[in-house]
Chains A and B, each alone.
Chain A
């Protein structure tokens, strides 16, 4: 079973070689090493998937003792169960394709070895995260992917906007990670261990356990799960902690595809699914998950319809799709969530890389208002983008159809208020998804060319090294939904023990028995959305402008992303700076320096001046001082000595 570890450590090997010896082996060498290692890892990942998931040969590989400190004894274990198997497969395959694509995309960059080292290092951390067997190991991978995400968003570190975006991503993720860390501490506090197996088996016994904080009692499991979910929200860019994801598009497009679409941002979903044995006993936490998932789904979709940057549209789309995955988990349809994660990884990576190919063709132009009319010039990319969008919009028989359908059906079948909330918003978001997807398609490829002639003259199809991986992803986007359908089947025990669903939470099972209109509605609104986009951007291109003018406040509200950046700027950034400046000027400068070092120094100087002035030079002064001192001492003894 030890070869299970191969797909996890091969990327690390590639990263170390490319990162430390990049100057020696050069760009070509770094590409060969990392892509080669990644290729082998992808093959191994398919082997692992076959053996672990299809043949059920789950395993736990002991690597070494990590550390022991008091009660905390942590081993380094690799956990290979069905969930890990699926994730390893998705991560390795997508990562490999993106590695290959990057050879072409980053061909002209002067820092190729560094890029590939980061990319492989990211893959390693992601795999460490999904193969973790305890909370700390998961946190290790979690922080690792956060770090590499930071490094890759700021890859073009000479751009101020890239640095700002990198810092923003890091800081917003700190907020989430803080929640995650608190969650881990809470778990350790109650269970005295951070091992998954021990915690999972102990969770039923903790149902009524309470923690007291600031004099209030809280249900322990609910608190722990909500804290852990805060971590997931940060990493998966959910509502309120989503602001970093669109800005993260400052990174190179392959990074957006791998990290900010296919893998890292889905870590939150994976975490909730992985921790299903705890979340299942925390109904309030599940409701929170559902609420935030559904809200994010619609919230991000509304923003996506107004954005003009091709990558930002896809970024908000990602945000929205992550919302779907979360509310699937929230209604205990974890299988459906992971199913959507899997299909999404392929079609969203395809969309991003396709967008990358478009940007490549348009001489690094990202604004869709300056594109249009290029579909004949880059037909391969055009077709691939169609496939990606069809999958995203959930059109039969593309992969998104299966996964999105089952999620919405599960939400409907959960028969709870929040479930219906999620279902309603999900349907609306599905309509918007189709709308903005085809808006993107039409604006980018159809209509009159809006770019200048020089750019248009340059429009060219991407080289094979770029479009061949896209074909691989496109195949995945077409077939993976059908192939992976067992993930959500009720008659096959696909997940084994890796996901726990309590019998009362049978939404996924019920989902197969919902009315036909529920099953048909998602695709119907998808088609409607496509039609709407066709109307708006092909038939009557003047309509969007008129609508934007008519409903200007709404348009601005959406265009400015619900003003979240501005709100956070006022609430946190400026107030923190204001607080900092005041503490610096008033607190440190005036009080601490003023009374402390400066004040003491000034007082010392003034005392010194007076002490010097005592020395007048007159003998009678001196004699007087002596006698005065003598008299004082004698007086002291005569009065106080009594």
Chain B
């Protein structure tokens, strides 16, 4: 029996802190009861802010700990920052909703913290086992929050659907992992990479086995980022889940899953880049296409946002298909901008209340420019940005990934992406048209709330003025991409 060696805990400090914080919050909540929800939410935000600071102050260079299961580097730091911000902001924008709509239970912020912890672990996973554990911690929390409004049929349906399909995807993931383990004999990412470089080539059975394992893993990860054809859960869950939960789904887990996708494909399976990029290109084209076309027929704005997010994942994957540091930088910048726009967009949706009731139909936005000009302006900014109209941030997100694709000679992919974004522009701009040119409907309740207004202002300003000073974000993304693709 080997002597137990104490691992280095410092690199995992944010995760350890968050784990401790979540348990503490849970205990506190149990003792104080449901009236503590607001306090718990703010405490959760504070905990995430603290974790954010820890991520920033920790050393940048690549460090592994827990016997190689856990890794931190600039890439992990960048993605963790995104996830923490996304999670905290969704908690804040959800405050009003949670209070009004019968979700006033202290478990909600605690579950969000658990999910966030899972995401951080995913991002730092350096082993198939660690990957699975992180993913499941996240997923289990998400299943619960999706069905958090137990009295709502649609919410429970969303949670159940997500759970069943998520279970299938977990099965796929585990099956893929076992295939890879079977043919390489290791679960650590470095080990897999080494095996793929040395022992596997030449061995037809091993090559095929690893490849099929990779396809299964890819399918599971595609499910998490809701890429076509593993996207089917997205519209139903987005529509059915309580709106703050949808906002959360659209922001943080997507970023985390994308981080995992990047790390898995560019780390252990880097040797197979020539193989997996075919999957990525296919999934990217399918996602962009479906995201563009299916959204046209939607009347519910949350459903529309679901298809929009499918499309955005497609665009981001264009950068991964390029497989260059520029491409990866493009993906990271895209995810950041996507998250900002999505948070802003959901903040607008959370402001859609008429006589105390939440409304979700696009037609409810009619003439918003007359009844609430500033909200209409904010939503218009996000919609134009998502459509990729310069000089808004969304344009630059698309620009970087398409440029990377063109540099790599992927003209077909880039052209398809541009065409899809033309189609997509239709439904984004239709919302602007409904707000600005249709006859005013009944206005929304006012005021929209301090938290919502602050988030709207912040995300709106970033979206609007990204072009003026993109340097820090670009530099961060570039360093992160360099950490992943040395």
Binding site for B on A (CB under 8 A): 604-605, 607-609, 611-612, 614-615, 617, 619, 621-623, 625-630, 633-634, 636-638, 641
Q: Is B123 positioned at the interface, with any CB of A under 8 Å from its CB?
A: no
Alpha-carbon distance A621/B164, docked complex (angstroms): 12
Q: Are B211 and A617 in contact (CB under 8 A)?
A: no
Q: Are A622 and B294 in contact (CB under 8 A)?
A: no
Q: Are A625 and B232 in contact (CB under 8 A)?
A: yes
B435–chain A nearest beta-carbon distance, Å: 21
Q: Are B165 and A619 in contact (CB under 8 A)?
A: yes
A595–chain B nearest beta-carbon distance, Å: 16
Which residue from B160, B215, B228 sits with its C-beta under 8 Å from A630? B215
Q: Are B215 and A637 in contact (CB under 8 A)?
A: yes
Q: Which residues of A contact B233 (CB under 8 A)?
A: 622
Additional A-B contacts beyond A626-B219, A637-B211 (4; CB < 8 A): A609-B297, A619-B161, A623-B165, A633-B219
Q: Are A611 and B215 in contact (CB under 8 A)?
A: no
Alpha-carbon distance A634/B282, docked complex (angstroms): 13
Q: Which residues of A contact B215 (CB under 8 A)?
A: 630, 633-634, 637
Q: Are B293 and A630 in contact (CB under 8 A)?
A: no
B203-223 vs A: 1/0 string, CB under 8 Å?
Answer: 000001001100110110001
Which residue from A605, A619, A629, A636 sits with its C-beta under 8 Å from B278? A636
Which residue from A608, A611, A629, A641 sits with its C-beta under 8 Å from B219? A629
Q: Are A637 and B275 in contact (CB under 8 A)?
A: yes
Known contacts A626-B229, A629-B219, A634-B215; A615 and B275 CB within 8 A of each other? no
User: Can you give 11 contacting A-B residue pairs, CB < 8 Å?
Assistant: A604-B293, A605-B296, A617-B236, A619-B164, A621-B232, A626-B165, A626-B230, A627-B168, A629-B228, A637-B278, A641-B211
Q: Are B232 and A611 in contact (CB under 8 A)?
A: no
Q: Which residues of B contact A608 (CB under 8 A)?
A: 293-297
Alpha-carbon distance A615/B293, docked complex (angstroms): 13
Q: Which residues of B contact A629 (CB under 8 A)?
A: 219, 228-230
Which residue from A609, A622, A634 sits with its C-beta under 8 Å from B232? A622
Alpha-carbon distance A622/B231, docked complex (angstroms): 8
Which 6 pairs show the lowest CB-CB distances between chains A and B? A629-B229, A622-B232, A611-B294, A608-B296, A612-B297, A608-B297
Closest A residue, CB atoms, query B282? A633
Q: Is B172 positioned at the interface, with any CB of A under 8 Å from its CB?
A: yes
A636–chain B nearest beta-carbon distance, Å: 7
Q: Which residues of A contact B160 (CB under 8 A)?
A: 619
The listed residue with most B CB atoms (<10 A of its CB), out of A621, A623, A627, A629, is A629
Q: Are A615 and B229 in contact (CB under 8 A)?
A: no
Q: Is B30 positioned at the interface, with any CB of A under 8 Å from its CB?
A: no
Q: Is B53 positioned at the interface, with any CB of A under 8 Å from its CB?
A: no
Q: Are A641 and B275 in contact (CB under 8 A)?
A: yes
Known contacts A619-B165, A625-B229; A630 and B297 CB within 8 A of each other? no
Q: Which residues of B contact A615 (CB under 8 A)?
A: 232, 235-236, 294
Known contacts A612-B297, A617-B236, A626-B229; A634 and B161 CB within 8 A of each other? no
> What size tier do the contact residues of chain B reach?
35 or more
B377-396 vs A: 1/0 string, CB under 8 Å?
Answer: 00000000000000000000
Alpha-carbon distance A621/B297, docked complex (angstroms): 20
A469–chain B nearest beta-carbon distance, Å: 64
Q: Are B212 and A634 in contact (CB under 8 A)?
A: yes
Alpha-carbon distance A113/B293, docked complex (angstroms): 63
Binding site for A on B (CB under 8 A): 160-161, 164-165, 168-169, 172, 208, 211-212, 215-216, 218-219, 223, 228-230, 232-233, 235-236, 275, 278-279, 282, 290, 293-298, 423, 426
Q: Which residues of B contact A625 (CB under 8 A)?
A: 229, 232
Q: Which residues of B contact A634 (CB under 8 A)?
A: 212, 215
Q: Are A626 and B169 in contact (CB under 8 A)?
A: yes
Q: Which residues of B contact A630 (CB under 8 A)?
A: 172, 215-216, 219
Known contacts A615-B232, A634-B212; A604 and B296 CB within 8 A of each other? yes
Q: Which residues of A contact B296 (CB under 8 A)?
A: 604-605, 608
Alpha-carbon distance A614/B232, docked complex (angstroms): 9
Q: Which residues of A contact B294 (CB under 8 A)?
A: 608, 611-612, 614-615
Q: Are A638 and B208 in contact (CB under 8 A)?
A: yes
B273–chain A nearest beta-carbon distance, Å: 14
Q: Which residues of B contact A627 (CB under 8 A)?
A: 168
Q: Are B279 and A633 in contact (CB under 8 A)?
A: yes
A551–chain B nearest beta-carbon distance, Å: 70
Q: Are B168 and A626 in contact (CB under 8 A)?
A: yes
Closest A residue, CB atoms, query B168? A623
Alpha-carbon distance A574/B223, docked complex (angstroms): 65
Alpha-carbon distance A614/B216, docked complex (angstroms): 23
Q: Which residues of B contact A637 (CB under 8 A)?
A: 211-212, 215, 275, 278
Alpha-carbon distance A612/B297, docked complex (angstroms): 6
Q: Which residues of A contact B275 (CB under 8 A)?
A: 637, 641
Q: Which residues of A contact B229 (CB under 8 A)?
A: 625-626, 628-629
Q: Are B423 and A604 in contact (CB under 8 A)?
A: yes
Alpha-carbon distance A615/B234, docked complex (angstroms): 10
Alpha-carbon distance A637/B274, docked complex (angstroms): 12
Alpha-carbon distance A422/B278, docked complex (angstroms): 83
Alpha-carbon distance A137/B236, docked complex (angstroms): 74
A271–chain B nearest beta-carbon distance, Å: 53
A414–chain B nearest beta-carbon distance, Å: 70
Alpha-carbon distance A623/B172, docked complex (angstroms): 12
Alpha-carbon distance A244/B125, docked complex (angstroms): 87
Q: Which residues of A contact B236 (CB under 8 A)?
A: 615, 617
Q: Which residues of A contact B223 (CB under 8 A)?
A: 626
Closest B residue, CB atoms, query A609? B297
Known contacts A604-B423, A630-B216, A633-B219; A622 and B161 CB within 8 A of each other? yes
Q: Which residues of B contact A611 (CB under 8 A)?
A: 290, 293-294, 297
Q: Which residues of A contact B232 (CB under 8 A)?
A: 615, 621-622, 625-626
Alpha-carbon distance A625/B279, docked complex (angstroms): 16
B201–chain A nearest beta-carbon distance, Å: 14
Alpha-carbon distance A633/B220, docked complex (angstroms): 13
Closest A residue, CB atoms, query B157? A617
Alpha-carbon distance A621/B231, docked complex (angstroms): 12
